[in-house]
Amino acid sequence: AIDPQFEDNREVVDEHEGHKVWGPVDEPEQLGIHGTHVAVDFDICLADGACLEDCPVDVFEWTDTPGHPESEIKADPVNEAQCIDCMLCVDVCPVDAIDVDPG
Ligand code: SF4
Ligand code: F3S
Ligand code: ZN
């Protein structure tokens, strides 16, 4: 599961589509965590797609991650600023790849 303390335990190494990327990153095998308020651990996501289907405000879009061992697409939190903290994505992800911090 994603580390809920990732902001303490990781460093920001990049930016992508307007959100932060928390390392370590070693492409294509290791991709880190994308987003902060809505955070997706790309190294855990296996492209189930429930988060994209269920998010009521369309926070997520697919992004291509060719060569990653778990899946070659990931749910990217491109609209994390629109999140309404319903926690549905956290509940439906089968591998607990998503962390949302209500604030
Ligand atoms: Fe979307 Fe709700 Fe997840 Fe926020 S908590 S990203 S609104 S499903
Ligand atoms: Fe990935 Fe979980 Fe969404 S596996 S596509 S973050 S439901
Ligand atoms: Zn991203």
Is the C-beta atom of 83 inside 6 A of ligand 1?
A: yes
Query: Which numbered ligand comes closest to the C-alpha of 38?
Result: 1
pLDDT at site 102: 86
**101 pLDDT exceeds 70?**
yes
Is the ipTM of this structure higher than 0.95?
yes
- Rounded to an integer, what distance in angstroms lies between the CA atom of residue 58 and that of residue 98? 15
Write the residue with the smallest CA distance to atom 1 of ligand 2.
45
- Rounded to an integer, what distance in angstroms lies between the CA atom of residue 56 and that of residue 73? 21
pLDDT at site 103: 66
What token pair was written down for 90?
Answer: 């956290």
Write the residue with the smallest CA distance to atom 2 of ligand 2.
93
User: pLDDT, tens digit, for every residue of 14-71?
Assistant: 999 999 999 999 999 999 999 999 999 999 999 999 999 999 999 999 999 999 999 9
What are the residue ranges spanned by the domains of the chain? 6-94
pLDDT at site 2: 98
Q: CATH topology for 6-94?
A: Alpha-Beta Plaits (3.30.70)
| Whether residue 69 has a cis bond before it, omega within 30° of 0 | no
Residue-wise burial string across 58-76, b where 16 or more C-beta atoms lie within 10 A, e elsewhere: ebbeebebeebebeebbbb
